[in-house]
C-alpha cells in the first residue's frame, strides 16, 4: 500500500475507481439468505465467484459459510447455465437436505441472460424440488450496485418466495433490520420483546453468524427466520423497514402485494434514530414504552452529556454503507461533532441529499460522495485533516498513514472481533459507539500529551 504517495490534488475520475468503498451484490444476497432458517445460498456462476463471496463473509464473521455453486465452465458460459443449476438444486436437496435454497446470480450468468424464473419453475416441474422444500431467487449482477443492493434484492426475493395473505390479520409487526450485524438483529429483537411486541424479523442472522462453539458442527444452525414466519408476513399489521437502501425494496413490495403498510426509517444508531424507532413501535403496536428502555435511554444521554467536551467540534471522516453512514452522521451531529468527509461506494443521489440535510447547520461544509472510493476520501483528508476516522478494516491504512484515531464499523471487519456479538443499534449500541470513539480519541491524546498534561483522570 503506497498511500503516502496519494496526492492532495483532486482530479475528476469517471472511468476508474481506486479502493471502492463497497463489494459486490452476491455477497449481500448470500448474507440475507443465511438469515432464513435451514437455507443454503447458491451462487449461479463460477466456482471462483462463490469462493470469494464465502471467504469474505467468513473473514468478517469468523464463522463457516456454506453455499452451493453452479460451477460454470466454458460450455455453460456460452450455452447458458440452466442444466448446471437444475443439477445443483437436485444435488443439494439430496446431499445436504436444506429447507430452502436461495439462488443469486453473478456477473457471468446475468451477462449471458439466464432467466432464473424460468429455470426455477422447470426445477419444480421436473420434480427436483422435494415436497415441502423451497427455492427462492434474486438477480444480483455484480457490475451494478453493491453488496447492499444484493442484500436488498434478496430480501425482495424472500418476500416474493414466501409471503402469503390468508385474510386473518395477525397482531405482529414485520421488521426488516437492514444490512447490520447479527448482534444488532438480536438487540432489535430484545427491544421489541421488552416492549411486549410480537414481531417477525427477516432476514435474521443472529444465531447463524454469531453462534456458540459447542464442539459439534451444524450446517444449518437453529437461528434464522422460519418459513412459517415468513409466510405469515402478509398478514402482519405493518412493516418497519430500517435503512432505505437495504430494506425499502422488500417493504414496499410487501405493501404493494399484500397491502401491509410500511414505514421506512433510518437504522436506529444513536439517540435520535433510536427514539424514532421506539416511538414507531409504540404507535404501531399500541403499547407503552417500559421503564427499562427509558432507563437505557437515560444512560446514553448521561454519557453523552458527561463527555460532551471531548466530542465538541471534533472533525470526522466516514466511509461505508449508505444506511450506516446516514445514521452515524445524525448521531455525530447530535454529539456536536462535525462530519466533514463522507464516502459510500453504493450509488444513489438520495444519499447525498440526506447527508447534506443532516449537516446543513454545522460550522463547516461537508464533502460527500455516493459511488465514491477511498482514494478520494484520502485526498479529502489530506486537504482537511480530521480527528477521527470511522469505517471498515480497509481504513486502517489511511489511519496509520495520517495518524488518525480509527473506529472500525461496518462491513467488512477482518482484523478485529466483537462486531458479531456487541450491537451498535439501540441505546445500548449507542453507548458502545460512544465508548469506542472516546477510547480511540483519548488513546491518541494520552499518547501525545506532554508529561505535565498527562492526567490520571478526565
221 CB-side CA count, 13 A: 21
At 455, is the pLDDT very low, low, confident or very high (cuts 50, 70, 90)?
confident
pLDDT in tens, 404-425: 999 999 999 999 999 999 999 9
pLDDT in tens, 191-203: 999 999 999 999 9
Segment 52-71 shows an average pLDDT of: 95
Query: With contact defined as beta carbons under 8 Å apart, do 117 and 153 qualify?
Result: no
Question: Would the pLDDT of 179 be above 70?
Answer: yes
Distance CA 335, CA 333 (A): 5
pLDDT for 250: 98
pLDDT in tens, 153-167: 999 999 999 999 998
At 319, is the pLDDT very low, low, confident or very high (cuts 50, 70, 90)?
very high
Distance CA 205, CA 121 (A): 28
Do 238 and 263 lie in a common domain? yes
Do 65 and 191 lie in a common domain? no
Segment 69-79 shows an average pLDDT of: 82
Confidence (pTM): 0.96
Distance CA 90, CA 129 (A): 7
At 446, is the pLDDT very low, low, confident or very high (cuts 50, 70, 90)?
very high
pLDDT for 55: 96
153's CB contacts (< 8 A; 6+ apart) are 25, 28, 29, 104, 138, 139, 140, 249
Report yes or no on 13 lying in a domain: no
Share of the chain above pLDDT 90, in %: 90
Distance CA 268, CA 277 (A): 6
Q: Where does 345-443 show beta strands of DSSP type E?
A: 367-370, 388-391, 406-408
Tell which residue, 229, 251, 254, has the closest CA to residue 241: 251
Question: Would the pLDDT of 1 be above 70?
Answer: no
**Backbone φ and ψ of 49, nearest 5°:** -60, -50
pLDDT for 12: 84
Do 436 and 315 lie in a common domain? yes
Share of the chain above pLDDT 70, in %: 99
Do 136 and 194 lie in a common domain? no
Which residue, 145, 162, 179, sits at the end of a domain?
A: 162
- Indicate the number of domains in the chain: 3
- Inter-helix orientation angle 147-162/244-258, to 10°: 20
Do 229 and 325 lie in a common domain? no
The better pLDDT of the pair 74, 68 is held by 68
Segment among 105-114, 248-257, 367-376 with least mean pLDDT: 105-114
pLDDT for 121: 97
How far does Cα 282 stand from its chain's mean position? 25
Report yes or no on 371 lying in a domain: yes
Do 65 and 101 lie in a common domain? yes
pLDDT in tens, 331-365: 999 999 999 999 999 999 999 999 999 999 999 99
pLDDT for 74: 79
Segment 305-326 shows an average pLDDT of: 98
| Phi/psi-derived region of residue 67, left when phi > 0, alpha when psi is between -120 and 50, beta in every other case | beta
Do 311 and 444 lie in a common domain? yes
- Tell me: cis bond preceding 249? Omega within 30 of 0 counts: no
Q: Where does 213-324 show beta strands of DSSP type E?
A: 236-242, 262-265, 315-320
Query: With contact defined as beta carbons under 8 Å apart, do 258 and 236 qualify?
Result: no
Instruction: Using CB atoms within 10 Å of the CB of residue 213, give its burial: 0 to 12 exposed, 13 to 18 middle, 19+ buried.
Output: exposed
Do 154 and 190 lie in a common domain? no
At 77, is the pLDDT very low, low, confident or very high (cuts 50, 70, 90)?
confident
| Structural domain boundaries enclosing 68 | 25-162
End-to-end C-alpha distance for the chain, whole angstroms: 37
Q: CATH number, domain at 179?
A: 3.40.50.1980
Query: With contact defined as beta carbons under 8 Å apart, do 331 and 303 qualify?
Result: no
Which residue, 243, 264, 294, sits at the end of a domain?
A: 294
pLDDT in tens, 268-278: 999 999 999 99
pLDDT for 458: 78
Report yes or no on 259 lying in a domain: yes
Do 152 and 193 lie in a common domain? no
Question: Would the pLDDT of 32 be above 80?
Answer: yes
Do 219 and 130 lie in a common domain? no
pLDDT for 13: 86
Report yes or no on 399 lying in a domain: yes
91's CB contacts (< 8 A; 6+ apart) are 68
Segment 206-223 shows an average pLDDT of: 93
Question: Would the pLDDT of 456 be above 60?
Answer: yes
Q: What is the DSSP letter of 81?
A: S
At 457, is the pLDDT very low, low, confident or very high (cuts 50, 70, 90)?
confident
Do 66 and 33 lie in a common domain? yes
Report yes or no on 9 lying in a domain: no
pLDDT for 11: 87
Question: Would the pLDDT of 3 be above 80?
Answer: no
How many residues are given for the chain? 458
Which residue, 162, 186, 210, sits at the end of a domain?
A: 162
Q: Angle at the Cα of 59 (from 324 to 37), degrees rounded to 5?
A: 75
Query: With contact defined as beta carbons under 8 Å apart, do 99 and 227 qualify?
Result: yes
Report yes or no on 2 lying in a domain: no
Report yes or no on 16 lying in a domain: no
Report yes or no on 3 lying in a domain: no
Segment among 10-24, 83-97, 377-391 with least mean pLDDT: 10-24
Question: Would the pLDDT of 129 be above 90?
Answer: yes
Report the b/e string of 442-458 with b at 16+ CB within 10 A.
eebeeeeeeeeeeeeee
Segment 232-239 shows an average pLDDT of: 97
Do 47 and 116 lie in a common domain? yes
pLDDT for 2: 56
Amino acid at each position: 500500500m503506497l498511500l503516502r504517495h496519494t496526492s492532495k490534488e483532486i482530479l475528476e475520475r469517471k472511468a476508474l475507481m481506486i479502493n471502492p468503498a463497497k463489494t459486490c451484490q452476491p455477497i449481500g444476497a448470500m448474507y440475507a439468505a443465511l438469515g432464513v432458517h435451514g437455507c443454503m445460498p447458491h451462487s449461479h456462476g463460477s466456482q471462483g465467484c462463490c469462493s470469494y463471496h464465502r471467504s469474505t463473509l467468513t473473514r468478517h464473521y469468523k464463522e463457516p459459510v456454506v453455499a452451493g455453486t453452479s460451477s460454470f465452465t466454458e460450455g455453460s458460459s456460452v450455452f447458458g447455465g440452466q442444466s448446471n443449476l437444475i443439477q445443483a438444486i437436485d444435488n443439494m436437496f439430496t446431499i445436504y437436505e436444506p429447507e430452502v435454497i436461495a439462488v443469486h446470480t453473478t456477473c457471468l450468468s446475468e451477462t449471458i441472460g439466464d432467466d432464473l424464473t424460468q429455470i426455477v419453475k422447470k426445477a419444480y416441474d421436473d420434480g427436483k424440488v422435494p415436497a415441502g422444500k423451497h427455492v427462492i431467487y434474486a438477480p444480483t449482477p455484480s457490475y451494478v450496485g453493491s453488496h447492499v443492493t444484493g442484500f436488498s434484492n434478496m430480501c425482495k426475493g424472500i418476500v416474493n418466495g414466501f409471503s402469503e395473505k390468508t385474510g386473518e390479520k395477525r397482531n405482529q409487526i414485520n421488521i426488516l433490520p437492514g444490512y447490520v450485524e447479527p448482534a444488532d438483529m438480536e438487540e432489535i429483537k430484545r427491544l421489541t420483546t421488552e416492549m411486549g411486541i410480537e414481531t417477525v424479523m427477516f432476514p435474521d442472522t443472529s444465531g447463524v453468524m454469531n453462534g456458540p462453539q459447542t464442539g459439534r458442527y451444524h450446517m444449518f444452525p437453529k437461528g434464522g427466520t422460519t418459513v412459517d414466519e415468513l409466510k405469515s408476513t402478509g398478514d402482519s399489521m405493518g412493516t418497519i423497514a430500517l435503512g432505505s437502501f437495504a430494506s425499502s425494496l422488500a417493504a414496499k413490495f410487501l405493501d404493494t402485494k399484500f397491502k401491509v403498510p410500511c414505514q421506512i426509517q433510518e437504522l436506529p444508531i444513536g439517540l435520535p434514530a433510536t427514539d424514532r424507532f421506539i416511538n414507531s413501535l409504540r404507535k404501531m403496536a399500541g403499547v407503552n414504552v417500559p421503564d427499562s428502555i427509558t432507563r437505557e435511554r437515560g444512560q446514553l444521554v448521561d454519557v453523552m452529556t458527561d463527555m460532551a467536551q471531548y466530542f465538541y467540534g471534533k472533525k470526522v471522516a466516514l466511509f461505508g454503507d449508505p444506511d450506516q453512514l446516514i445514521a452515524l452522521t445524525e448521531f455525530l451531529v447530535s454529539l456536536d461533532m462535525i462530519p466533514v468527509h463522507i464516502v459510500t461506494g453504493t450509488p444513489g443521489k438520495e444519499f447525498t441529499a440526506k447527508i447534506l440535510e443532516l449537516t446543513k447547520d454545522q460550522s463547516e461544509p461537508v464533502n460527500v460522495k455516493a459511488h465514491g472510493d477511498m482514494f478520494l476520501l484520502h485526498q479529502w483528508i489530506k486537504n482537511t485533516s480530521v480527528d477521527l476516522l470511522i469505517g471498515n478494516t480497509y481504513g486502517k491504512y489511511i489511519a496509520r498513514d495520517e495518524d488518525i484515531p480509527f473506529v472500525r464499523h461496518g462491513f467488512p471487519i477482518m482484523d478485529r472481533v466483537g462486531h458479531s456479538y456487541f450491537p451498535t443499534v439501540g441505546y445500548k449500541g449507542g453507548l458502545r459507539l460512544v465508548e469506542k470513539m472516546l477510547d480511540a480519541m483519548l488513546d491518541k491524546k494520552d499518547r501525545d500529551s506532554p508529561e505535565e498534561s498527562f492526567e490520571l483522570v478526565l
